[in-house]
């Protein structure tokens, strides 16, 4: 009998209001949806998390960053391989990278 030896699909989450992020397995378009998405994956390993700073209108990624920071502060950081910040807003992106790196998340500035 043949047994499948396929490896599980990587979990790649994206939070971005516009970009399609073709590699992402799930995409949230607002910070509220992003928080919900991360909470759904709270006890799972996330291979990659893609973050955009500006999410349209008055919305931005900072509530999501706060969630990640608070989790690390409480001693239960999210298990994420790499966080990629791909914002066209260089100042906002730098703030996100700095905040998450401070809490030992593996974070990189990237292009989507």
| 12-109: CATH superfamily | Response regulator (3.40.50.2300)
Q: What is the mean pLDDT of residues 100-107?
A: 97
Is the pLDDT score of 28 beyond 60?
Answer: yes
Give the model confidence (pLDDT) of 36-84 as tens digits: 999 999 999 999 999 999 999 999 999 999 999 999 999 999 999 999 9
Q: How far apart are the first and last CA of the chain?
A: 43
Predicted pLDDT of residue 3: 54
Q: What is the pTM of this model?
A: 0.90
Q: What is the mean pLDDT of residues 12-39?
A: 95
Q: What is the mean pLDDT of residues 84-101?
A: 94
């Amino acid at each position: 009998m043949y047994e499948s030896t396929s490896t599980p699909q990587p979990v790649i989450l994206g939070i971005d209001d516009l970009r399609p992020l073709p590699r992402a397995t799930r995409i949230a378009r607002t910070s509220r949806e992003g928080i919900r998405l991360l909470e759904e994956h709270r006890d799972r390993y996330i291979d990659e998390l893609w973050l955009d700073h500006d999410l349209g209108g008055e919305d931005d990624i900072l509530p999501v960053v706060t969630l990640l920071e608070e989790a690390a502060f409480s001693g239960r950081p999210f298990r994420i391989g790499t966080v990629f910040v791909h914002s066209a807003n260089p100042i906002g992106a730098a703030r996100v990278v700095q905040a998450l790196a401070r809490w030992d998340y593996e974070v990189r500035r990237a292009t989507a």
